[in-house]
Amino acid sequence: MRWKSLVVLPAMILPLGVRAEVVDSIATGFEVRSTASIAASPDSVYRALVYRISDWWDPEHTWSWKSKNVSIDPRPGGCFCEKLPGGGGVEHMTVIYVAPGKLLRMRGALGPMQASGLSGVMTWEFKSVADGTTVEQTYSIGGFYKGGLQALAPVVDSVLGGQLRRLKLFIETGTPKTE
């Protein structure tokens, strides 16, 4: 996965009602959180997240540059994986908790953080509200990362907030892009 260097405010509102923020950040770890209101039921949002990830995941944040190679096996021990050319592959995260339409939790270090002594947990929580679903995505990671993790927190926050924005757009408009 490629992580572009970005200048990002500690908390920001991405277009289309997605809020992304660095909750906490120290040299040995950080937590980021993104929230969005999506005009669909929690079950529909969960199904799009899990079963249609290749339709909305940003290909710039894959190793293969192709979202069609990304999948989630939604069971404990299941893989958030990506197929690579030549029969290769990468495990981005391992599924550790599944409650369809309510919660999906995975463990792993994303992108370039995978090559360091880090452990992370990402949780997607779905709550029914009058006009659809509130989705809260959190990612907490800690461990050893050469130079510390503080500078990486806003970049990861922006990338993950962007992914939630793409999911919201895909569900509400049929396409993950605004163009």
Does residue 28 register a pLDDT over 50?
yes
Residue 60: CB atoms within 10 Å = 13
Percentage above 90 pLDDT, the chain: 88
User: Is 91 or 179 the better-scoring residue by pLDDT?
Assistant: 91
Q: What is the pTM of this model?
A: 0.90
Question: Where are the domains positioned within the chain?
Answer: 23-171
At residue 62, the pLDDT reads 96
Looking at the domain that runs over 23-171, which CATH code has it been given?
3.30.530.20
At residue 17, the pLDDT reads 76
**pLDDT confidence tier of residue 16, bands split at 50, 70 and 90:** low
At 170 the three-state DSSP class reads helix
pLDDT tens-digit readout, 84-113: 999 999 999 999 999 999 999 999 999 989
Does residue 119 register a pLDDT over 60?
yes
| Residue in this structure with the two tokens 């950080």, named with its chain if needed | 30
Q: From CA 70, how far away is CA 57, in angstroms rounded?
A: 8
Average of per-residue pLDDT across 110-137 = 96
User: Is 30 or 8 the better-scoring residue by pLDDT?
Assistant: 30
At 65, list the tokens: 């540059």
